[in-house]
Amino acid sequence: MAARAALQRSVVSPAGGHRASVILLHGSGDTGPGVRAWIKQVLNQDLVFQHIKVIYPTAPARPYTPMRGALSTVWFDRWKISNECPEHIETIDSMCQVLTNVIDDEVKNGISKNRIILGGFSMGGGMAMHLAYRYHQDVAGVFALSSFLNKTSAVYQALQKNESVLPELFQCHGTADELVLHSWGEETNKMLKSLGVATSFHSFPNLKHELHKTELEKLSSWIVKKLPVETAMSNE
């Protein structure tokens, strides 16, 4: 099965020593190099840190139901782009296993799970929430940009039975998003907060389904706050 093969990855190495990692997942139909280039275009530079490696995996192409079964680089399938329908849990779970390999590779490189942040844009943010809150609750944090979870998400079901400390969620959403409604993102945030997740939610007026410079600057500051270089130094 193609999805079981190692994912292609675009990597931005830290300017200094590698002491933490961010795994950033692209939106549907995009690629790792594609979202990296988009971020570079918005920021006028790579999302780069002194001590943190940024990894952009590419989803394997698979039939995608919203595109009438055409092949697309998506993390999972879904019946339609809506928060009302059931999740396509089989494809979500199989991709969680594949992405676990990316996390494991970082751990083998000497980066502990609590020095790894998972996140993404749109579908990538939804994927990151499944990956972190259902399978890897010991990561340092999660971010979701223009993302949502379905109303009956398996993430909510998993957290109802949870008693451990959960990774913090950083969420951003444009108020003018017509593909993934701002209200879907807001509802996801409120639901996760009610289930014990420490969350922040940043609304961007007039922003559509896209990235914004201020949003990425806020994200960069949050990443450094969650993965400070001092902690890495003291652990040596």
Active site residues: 122, 177, 209
Q: Terminal CA-to-CA distance of the chain, rounded, Å?
A: 40
Largest CA distance in the chain: 52
Q: 76, 127 in Cβ contact below 8 A?
A: yes
11-23 core/surface letters (b: 16 or more CB in 10 A; e: else): ebebeeebbbbbb
The interaxial angle of helices 89-108 and 123-130, nearest 10 deg, is 70
Q: What Rg, from alpha-carbon coordinates, does the chain have?
A: 16
- Quote the tokens at residue 228: 């400070």
Residue 74 phi/psi, 5-degree rounding, is -125, 150
For tokens 């292609």, the residue is 8
Strands 9-12 and 52-57: antiparallel
Nearest residue to 128 via CA among 211, 8, 25, 2? 25
Cβ atoms within 10 A of the Cβ of 198, count? 13
Between CA 180 and CA 177 the distance in angstroms is 6
